[in-house]
Structure 1
Amino acid sequence: MVSLSGEIGIEGSSSSSQAMPESVLPTKAGTFDPPTRLPMARPAFGTEGRPVQLLTNHFNVKFTKQDTVFYHYSVNISHDKSDENHAHSKGFGRKVLDRLYQTYRSEFEGKQFAYDGEKSLFTVGPLPQNNFEFTVVLEDSSARATGGDPSGDSLGEGDQKRSRRSHFTRTFKVELSFAAKIPLKSIALALRGGESEDAQHALQILDIILRQQQAKRGCLLVKQSFFDGNHVNFIDLGGGVSGCRGFHSSFRTVMGGLSLNMDVSTTMIITPGPVLDFLLANQNIQDRRRIDWVKAKRMLKNLRIMTRHTKMEFRITGLSEMPCNQQLFPLRVRNSHGETQIVDITVYDYFMKTHKMQLTWSAHMPCLDVGKPKRPNYLPIELCNLVSLQQYTKALSSQQRVSLVEKSRQKPLERIRVVTDAVKNNHYDEDPILRSCGIYIDKQLSKLDGRVLSAPTLKVGNEEDCVPRNGRWNFNQKRLFYPIQIDRLWAIVNFSARCDLSYLSRELINCGRNKGIQIKRPFTFFEEDREWVRSDPVVRVEKMFEKIKANLPEHPQFLLCVLPERKNSDIYGPWKKKNLHEVGIVTQCISPTKINDQYLTNVLLKINSKLGGINSLLAVEHPCRIPLVNEIPTMILGMDVCHGSPGPSDFPSIAAVVGSRHWPLISRYRASVRTQSPKLETIDSLYKPGADGQDHGMIRELLLDFYRSSNAKKPTQMIIFRDGVGESQFNEVLNVELNQIIKAFEHLGECTIPKFTVIVAQKNHHTKLFLAGAPENVPPGTVVDTMVVHPRHYDFYMCAHAGMIGTSRPIHYNVLLDEIGFSTDDLQKLVLALSYVYQRSTTAVSMVAPVCYAHLAAQQMSQFLKFEDFSGAAGRQGVPELPRLHDNVKSSMFFC
């Protein structure tokens, strides 16, 4: 085993001063000409493991008319400029095309079409001609904006016989033009392992057919999922937000043939109902007099409401400047002589006199404006309800996320029942377009064979073996493999949390002793001064550090920070930035609600890892028996990108790469983190040459650390795990990111480029695995590489963890490149083993630890930027740089 002397503890000058001399890497002649790489084909199937019978939420699809050809037509809808507003309304295109079909059905010779809601229309077989031009007339029953009249009336008193709802028509020109032919037999070719763009297009058309069916039922469509407005599907998350249960459906080409993947899905919607109820819930208040109307205006803009008195639907454009009983608008009325004149009237008086409606509490509130900027149209809030199925696109609070997870869980048997019923109840076989293609969908979940790999044995303290059971183990009566000693100065900092610090420190010391960690008594406790409790979080942190510097005689080894709130404390980001960026102190934040041995053990696992200790090792890691990894210097990378909150934002994305160190170990890692353009998924700082001729990228940083920590060994093999990319981005991973990594090697003068194994780990997919005939989740270590995998590419599904609650979600691993040459079994066992080296817990994690670490590092360092304003920053001065970690902590597992 590699000696860890000099590398345990807070790694500072001893580590960073030993720069890898670039002269040790001979200069390579010539330049690198990167090849264009494609995802590799499957070399073989795995054979190891205990066989297990499984079910999956894929439904077999038969298509008997492979000679079917889809015809694609481009759709262009134009309209009068006065109606331009309506072109962007929800479902506008579908309404126009539905009316077109009703009016001109004979022109289509009765042939039905599938419309994507935007620019494309598909038919089975050709239409009578390649180009059409139609005039479509839509009758609309929404209010006409006429000088601010809230009801849509053009006249007031004396004209009561007029309809209160103005029916009017809009005229559109619809042009259809032939674009392409897509044969259905391309799917059969893909099922045999062929590559064809037509196959992807044909699958998309089949998905559009399903989406159209749901759109006609009035469902909300979100990507490949659909949601109906039945209130039994709503989950109240608080804050005026609800989770809406629905279904994901997509056709997929898999090894077992064409299948329909049906899964339960959830989207966030605005809770429908009275607008006032939404505002009170959204602002977490009970008294309507305390409503923040500036915030309310932001939240309500562009939401759709329906009036209680006319049942008409409008879109909110703003709020009135004055309260309802003071807000005037011009109204045309006829006097006793029949002459028309304009009078100013308040919205309140208008509804009292014209509609005979007594407004109660909304008289002193602003009105909702549902008109145009120059022609406002006001409605009293108490007459308005938010309509259902309006998507909520902002980030959820931590409480809302917890509530969503708790309330949307489904046990395996329940999930099986729900998705099976969905396939049966949607009557897909009765769809006329699917029938004309000869497509029939099975009503039962597909069966498949899986294998359960044995959990790896772990090594803990005193060279003791620890055998996980059901993906779990514990440190009861056990010691950590390499416990650190907190024998220098340390202290506890309390930011106004109600916590007995003396009891906490005493129990922590006792628990540490049992696990092999010798912890001195804390030097002191720092309590936050009450006068600073309501200050800005950055100010609170600065004031606390003034106390720390004034009262500690030297640089502390470690600070334990007690926060008043769990998960969402505003102190967290500024505190981490101060410690990790400015002063270089390892810190652990806690917010204890119940102090017991299990809680303290979990805290100590994190502290031990951050300070350089090792909680457990793989048994095969200790005597160096990992196939193809221990014989040759091998570096493992985990890569991820963390984006800001949903919706438009200038908050930069955070890219993180963690690299293994102390080869031949695979349990210790260091992180490198950078900002990049908002929403950019491809990591652009792996190699980053500067004006000074130096490479300032992430890979160089990790390579030098590997060299220093691995007895001057250079990696000749690299295993790369990439998280967060879809199938359409595989080529970017292979041909952009991998080329950057190679350039980083070249820049160091490396003459031999390492062999690479590149694996994409996907969590956000919709394939679920179930034990046949059993109510519990699949056992940890379950792997599937047949039937539901790609017909040609090298991929597999693995459930490494024990799903204790709800239904387990397997990770979909896609092996894009394997120059190292792992056998299928060895690679799958390595992936499983890397799920057991996660130092923060005593359970196997669902995804390999390096990817989990990269995600943690990106999330934690994104908190450094939490209180900074990025409005327009990307356009003015480029992406702001992330504060760099202090030399004392940059090599530590600070992210644990």
Structure 2
Amino acid sequence: MEKEGEEDTVEALLPSIQLTLAPKKMEPSKRVPISRCGSGSDGRPISLLANHFNVSLKNHDGVFFQYNVSITYEDKKSVDGKRIGRKVMDKVYQTYSSELAGKHFAYDGEKILFTVGPLPQNTFEFSVVLEESYVNRNGSPDMNGSPSEKEGKRAKRLFLSNTFNVEIRFAAEIPLKSIALALQGKESENTTEAIRVLDIILRQQSAKSFYFTIFLEHRGCLLVRQSFFHEDVKSLVDIGGGISACRGLHASFCTTQAGLSLNMDVSSTMILTPGPVLDFLKKNQNVEDLRQIDWGRAKRVLKNMRVKTQHNKMEFKIIGLSEKPCNQQIFSLKSKDRTSGDVELQTVEITVYNYFTQHKGIQLSSCAYMPCLDVGKPKRPNYLPLELCSLVSLQRYTKALSTRQRSSLVEKSRQKPLERIQAVTDAVSNYSYNEDPMLSSCGISVEKQLIQINGRVLKSPKRLFEPTKIQNWAVVNFSTRFDTSSLCRQLIDCGRSKGIHIERPHSLIEEDAKNRRLSPILRVEKMFEQMKSRLSASPEFLLCLLPERKNCDIYGPWKMKNLYEMGICTQCISPVKINDQYLSNVLLKINSKLGGINSLLDVEHVPSIPLVTEVPTMILGIDVSHGSPGQSDSPSIAAVVGSRYWPKISRYRASVRTQPPKVEMVESLYKLLPNGEDDGIIRELLVDFFQTSNGRKPKQIIIFRDGVSESQFNQVLNIELEQIIKAFQHFGETWLPKFTVIVAQKNHHTKLFQAGGHENVPAGTVVDTKIVHPRYYDFYMCAQAGMIGTSRPTHYHVLLDEIGFSADNLQNLVHSLCYVYQRSTAAISIVAPISYAHLAAAQMGKFITYDDLSDSSSSGNSSSPGTAVPIRELPRLHDNVKESMFFC
């Protein structure tokens, strides 16, 4: 073991990196999250409200019975889709209630239902007929005709078929007692399943409260996990591009220190704005004239959308567009020839336009020159004129939003604390949860007032400012709308007023006008040719003016050229309005990238952070970024940042790797090469810590992990932490630090309010009682000052604490780490290491997007569906910038 006070040199450590020891083989022990070790007491007490409602559970001896459900058509084909499944099961209850002994059931919309207590028998087989005539299975309207009279009758019968066979079979028992045990902090294998059943009952009751039944087709309810959204014009917020944010509510049960509670929150999901398809296309492509529509783009956007026709009120799914315009697209129509004595079928060729105007008597005014919607099958097209079709309500939009749409969503969906409180309390009153027969049979009743809790407000740490000098720099301008000379003067004046000394730039380089029509890659190359002719030496910093904001296609190739090839730090801007606040934020980023320190806590300066400044301690932030929705082949980006210059906690270095798409656990923390060397992320960050911390090896590691759910906590402990341990063992079998592992979650539905609800909670508010887990170690912290809308606290889960922090020490450390974010002059909502990891992953994701686009454009094709795409390894950063905070 290393003796107290003993320090290795860089030279002593580096050989051990090259001549690595084989890690000791050991059986990995199964790690689980630790139990709570107490509550904190630091800070000013404050009375708070949380959007939780107390729930009483009286029937501890009750048992949920789980049954598997199979729904098929008459021809034994399975029914796909929750919409039909829910209608069928509603009909089963109405028709066969006596056979089910009058028992109510909760149906998950797919293959499982639950009852409180058993049904009369273990197996049932029912046949039900829906009272509506619409069951669209093959999408074959009458306009296509039919190859023969026999096939025509078959197609019609399939279309009108509304008989379903339902089979119900017993599967398992889930005791309600498991919830009671969990509330006492005791282990129970059925707790998660029991809570899931209660949530399914909650979903079903919430949907019924929107009057969603098979008889009221004009009212709709969209269920998205534990959130529900209804068809109401008042709930829609237009965010542009034919997309609307639909406001609804989230409801779920959870076990807490104070007992079972109902968490109710306002929720939003993106949907296609209902209305005429042509209106949607104009908004989506931002054009006024239909003749300006890009039909190739329209085909990609419209695929799989559901539409309803004006002339017969039927619904269809779009599979594509016709190859020819409506007045030229021909199909074969079978009709009866009544001119001869015998009535015979004859086939005629007719355009879609003529069919609707002549045979259907429908006047078409604007779609003659436009393609038709294809709502048929791949080998059996079925064409509909665009102007007869409207988008069905409540269709989720799951693709990535543009920068403008995201900004609009944030701006228009804000709610003040009092508005949010009113929304959730009204929901609990209106949705009649206490009248639900299944919840009542469980002995469950929900109070109608927000739960009252006690919180504490931690003292804000004081901050110092350590600027750097900006000397050898230049400005490049890809945009025609900026006066670079004026911008530089404003930036220099703003910097000097803030204590940052900025010399005049060596050169202002405007893009040659003739290059603006080139591809993004060529524009970047041409700009560097201009730079070489204007600059005698490579600058240490470049300020780049882009023609557009973050979605600019120059951003990827520009950043990649500088960080990988040239080794130059660069700051890209494209301001809409230039003022002192904007320039101050830009200077914060520039100062960080060039090695300056924008924020340094006084506890760092002393230093006096308990347990952290006493023993060499390394802080890691881990995040994984996945491709945008619809980009299933894009590799995931794993980013880890590590602290440097111990005992400081404000300086970090990033290491980034690619891994298979949608893989959440980081795979490259420890990466053993064939030659026996470790080429993983941890080794890279560990060597950097050693080199910047006076040759000290970290004896303590604090890991902050973002982006994982409760179901993945064990994987963090047994997959990721195990890799980190192996990376340390690679340096020597006796060297293993103590670990503290903390998961931070922003994607949850708990909100905190000051008593009265008129204002957001103060910055530094922490809650670690009542609404926290009854057994495991977690707490809520709202470090930031909520200026607009309602603040969302970060939910921290402590999975492991070998270091042995007290509750107060750990909460104060987390609070301090929210103040060292170099891009902000105030505290942020989550610890800086996680924010940095997120920034690093997002920036590298831009390079992947750029690389993929450049490859596809050069090759002229893309991989076919189902083809495995090799994971592209990211090149290593240039030596000049790899140690910088390039991600700021």
**Which residue, out of 629, 636, 660, partners 1:646?**
629
* Secondary structure at the counterpart of residue 523 of structure 2: helix
Tell whether 2:70 aligns with 1:91: no
- C-alpha change, 1:154 and 1:395, in structure 2 (3 Å) is same
**Which residue, out of 250, 253, 266, partners 1:251?**
253
Tell whether 2:433 aligns with 1:428: yes
Amino acid at match of 1:739: E
For residues 428-469 of structure 1, what are the alpha-carbon distances to aligned partners after superposition, in whole Å with 9 as ceiling and x for unaligned? 112111122221111111111111111111123xxxxxxxxx
- C-alpha change, 1:573 and 1:666, in structure 2 (3 Å) is same
CA contact (8 A) 1:16 1:887 kept: no
Amino acid at match of 2:463: L
State the Cα distance separating 1:30 from its structure 2 match. Answer: 4.0
Aligned to 2:656: 673
Amino acid at match of 1:69: V
**Which residue, out of 604, 607, 610, partners 1:627?**
610
Matches within 5 A, 1:152-301: 168-216=160-208, 217=212, 218-301=220-303
My pick for the range that moved more, 866-875 or 263-272, is 866-875
* Secondary structure at the counterpart of residue 14 of structure 2: coil
State the Cα distance separating 1:210 from its structure 2 match. Answer: 1.6
State the Cα distance separating 1:314 from its structure 2 match. Answer: 1.6
Tell whether 2:447 aligns with 1:442: yes
**Which residue, out of 296, 321, 325, partners 1:323?**
325
Tell whether 2:467 aligns with 1:521: no
* Secondary structure at the counterpart of residue 887 of structure 1: coil
My pick for the range that moved more, 516-525 or 176-185, is 516-525
My pick for the range that moved more, 305-314 or 676-685, is 305-314
State the Cα distance separating 1:491 from its structure 2 match. Answer: 0.8
CA contact (8 A) 1:225 1:249 kept: yes
State the Cα distance separating 1:827 from its structure 2 match. Answer: 0.5
CA contact (8 A) 1:725 1:760 kept: yes
- C-alpha change, 1:501 and 1:70, in structure 2 (3 Å) is same
Tell whether 2:344 aligns with 1:340: yes
Aligned to 1:314: 316
* Secondary structure at the counterpart of residue 363 of structure 1: coil
* Secondary structure at the counterpart of residue 190 of structure 2: helix
State the Cα distance separating 1:346 from its structure 2 match. Answer: 2.4
For residues 614-640 of structure 1, what are the alpha-carbon distances to aligned partners after superposition, in whole Å with 9 as ceiling and x for unaligned? 122110111111110111100000110
Tell whether 2:377 aligns with 1:372: yes
State the Cα distance separating 1:374 from its structure 2 match. Answer: 3.0
Q: State how far apart, in whole Å, the 1-side matches of 2:542 and 2:491 are.
A: 13
* Secondary structure at the counterpart of residue 135 of structure 1: strand
Q: State how far apart, in whole Å, the 1-side matches of 2:791 and 2:136 are.
A: 52
CA contact (8 A) 1:331 1:345 kept: no
For residues 562-591 of structure 1, what are the alpha-carbon distances to aligned partners after superposition, in whole Å with 9 as ceiling and x for unaligned? 112222221111111110011100111122
Aligned to 1:134: 126
Q: State how far apart, in whole Å, the 2-side matches of 1:144 and 1:604 are.
A: 59
Q: State how far apart, in whole Å, the 1-side matches of 2:114 and 2:699 are.
A: 52
**Which residue, out of 92, 116, 123, partners 2:108?**
116
Aligned to 1:41: 35
CA contact (8 A) 1:68 1:124 kept: yes
TM-score by length of 1: 0.91
State the Cα distance separating 1:139 from its structure 2 match. Answer: 5.5
CA contact (8 A) 2:624 2:636 kept: yes
Q: State how far apart, in whole Å, the 2-side matches of 1:407 and 1:128 are.
A: 52
**Which residue, out of 768, 789, 808, partners 1:785?**
768
Q: State how far apart, in whole Å, the 2-side matches of 1:819 and 1:589 are.
A: 42
Task: Give the percent of matched residue pairs that are identical in Structure 1 and Structure 2.
Answer: 63
CA contact (8 A) 2:145 2:334 kept: no
My pick for the range that moved more, 765-774 or 547-556, is 547-556
State the Cα distance separating 1:144 from its structure 2 match. Answer: 7.2
Tell whether 2:53 aligns with 1:50: no
CA contact (8 A) 2:599 2:821 kept: no
Amino acid at match of 1:553: S
Q: State how far apart, in whole Å, the 1-side matches of 2:71 and 2:139 are.
A: 29
Q: State how far apart, in whole Å, the 2-side matches of 1:592 and 1:172 are.
A: 60
Amino acid at match of 1:430: E
Q: State how far apart, in whole Å, the 1-side matches of 2:106 and 2:518 are.
A: 58
CA contact (8 A) 2:82 2:109 kept: no
Aligned to 2:587: 604
State the Cα distance separating 1:66 from its structure 2 match. Answer: 1.6
State the Cα distance separating 1:203 from its structure 2 match. Answer: 0.8
State the Cα distance separating 1:247 from its structure 2 match. Answer: 0.8
* Secondary structure at the counterpart of residue 416 of structure 1: helix
Matches within 5 A, 1:493-504: 493-504=476-487
- C-alpha change, 1:145 and 1:24, in structure 2 (3 Å) is closer
State the Cα distance separating 1:506 from its structure 2 match. Answer: 2.2
For residues 688-729 of structure 1, what are the alpha-carbon distances to aligned partners after superposition, in whole Å with 9 as ceiling and x for unaligned? 111222111100000000000011000000011000000000
- C-alpha change, 1:341 and 1:74, in structure 2 (3 Å) is same
For residues 350-404 of structure 1, what are the alpha-carbon distances to aligned partners after superposition, in whole Å with 9 as ceiling and x for unaligned? 2223322211111222222222233322221111111100000110000000000
CA contact (8 A) 1:143 1:152 kept: no
Aligned to 1:4: none
For residues 106-157 of structure 1, what are the alpha-carbon distances to aligned partners after superposition, in whole Å with 9 as ceiling and x for unaligned? 210111111101111111111111112223334652387999655688899x
CA contact (8 A) 1:145 1:377 kept: no
Aligned to 2:25: 31
State the Cα distance separating 1:80 from its structure 2 match. Answer: 4.9
Q: State how far apart, in whole Å, the 1-side matches of 2:17 and 2:833 are.
A: 30
Q: State how far apart, in whole Å, the 1-side matches of 2:606 and 2:535 are.
A: 43
For residues 3-59 of structure 1, what are the alpha-carbon distances to aligned partners after superposition, in whole Å with 9 as ceiling and x for unaligned? xxxxxxxxxxxx999983327999688434332111001111111111111111111
State the Cα distance separating 1:610 from its structure 2 match. Answer: 0.7
Amino acid at match of 1:335: R
For residues 496-541 of structure 1, what are the alpha-carbon distances to aligned partners after superposition, in whole Å with 9 as ceiling and x for unaligned? 2422212222232233333333322211111001111122111111
State the Cα distance separating 1:598 from its structure 2 match. Answer: 2.7
Amino acid at match of 1:834: L
CA contact (8 A) 2:599 2:819 kept: no
Aligned to 1:664: 647
Amino acid at match of 1:210: L
Tell whether 2:875 aligns with 1:894: no
Matches within 5 A, 1:436-475: 436-460=441-465
**Which residue, out of 781, 796, 799, partners 1:813?**
796
CA contact (8 A) 2:556 2:847 kept: yes
Q: State how far apart, in whole Å, the 2-side matches of 1:719 and 1:894 are.
A: 23
Q: State how far apart, in whole Å, the 2-side matches of 1:726 and 1:146 are.
A: 40
Matches within 5 A, 1:578-589: 578-589=561-572
Amino acid at match of 2:109: G
Structure 1 unaligned regions, length at least 5: 1-14, 157-163, 461-480
* Secondary structure at the counterpart of residue 864 of structure 1: helix
CA contact (8 A) 2:23 2:733 kept: no
Tell whether 2:842 aligns with 1:859: yes
CA contact (8 A) 1:153 1:166 kept: no
State the Cα distance separating 1:557 from its structure 2 match. Answer: 1.4
Q: State how far apart, in whole Å, the 1-side matches of 2:41 and 2:163 are.
A: 65
State the Cα distance separating 1:752 from its structure 2 match. Answer: 2.3
CA contact (8 A) 1:27 1:751 kept: no
- C-alpha change, 1:253 and 1:794, in structure 2 (3 Å) is same
State the Cα distance separating 1:738 from its structure 2 match. Answer: 0.5
CA contact (8 A) 1:113 1:121 kept: yes
* Secondary structure at the counterpart of residue 97 of structure 2: helix
* Secondary structure at the counterpart of residue 262 of structure 1: strand
Aligned to 2:3: none
Amino acid at match of 2:660: S
* Secondary structure at the counterpart of residue 107 of structure 1: coil
CA contact (8 A) 1:143 1:165 kept: no
CA contact (8 A) 2:20 2:730 kept: no
